Amino acid sequence: MTLTLKSDVEIELSRTFDAPRRLVFEAHSKAEHVRQWWGSKDTTMTVCDMDFRPGGAWRYVTRKANGKEYGFHGTFVEIVRPEWFSWMFGVDGMPGEGLEVYRFTEHDGKTTLTTTSHFPSVEVRDAVIASGMETGAAELFDRLEEYLRTMGLS
């Protein structure tokens, strides 16, 4: 995974998966899939509610082994299957929401997922970075890669 600070209010993450775009997109678009892989390696998902359509709300809650829970929420903004989607992304207890755009690009049967997060201010962007998001995102992508393999997709 690569992390790039695109601007004072943007973070870009990119990772290539050994699976076709339509399947990587599907793994992001259905709760039955998302609940299997979303979150860092030491968490389990306790809530996975998503209405995958423009204007539809979503809420995820993960729990660490010590019982601490982390909540995430937002609304889907635009969806163009299987090329990209965008959503508003908020973290319980942190100020503001940011717009995230997920782009799925396929080449030779592999899919590069590029996520660009837009934050309302440099302070919010920096708070997200300070929260350990880089480590969590890398673990989340590792879990997605493992999940795709269990589905026989990669």
- Classify residue 112 as exposed, middle or buried by CB count within 10 Å of its CB (0-12, 13-18, 19+): middle
Residue with tokens 């990669």: 154
What pLDDT score does 154 carry?
A: 40
HEC string of 38-99 equals CCCCCEEEEEEEECCCCCCEEEEEEEECCCCEEEEEEEEEEEECCCEEEEEEEECCCCCEEE
Q: How far apart are CA 32 and CA 90, in angstroms?
A: 21
* CATH number (domain holding residue 113): 3.30.530.20
Token pair of 61 as six digits: 């809650």
Residue range of the domain that includes 100? 2-150
Provide the domain count of the chain.
Answer: 1
**pLDDT digit string (tens) for the chain, length 154 residues:** 999 999 999 999 999 999 999 999 999 999 999 999 999 888 999 999 999 999 999 999 999 999 999 999 999 999 999 999 999 998 898 777 889 999 999 999 999 999 999 988 898 888 889 988 899 899 999 999 999 998 765 4
pLDDT for 5 = 94
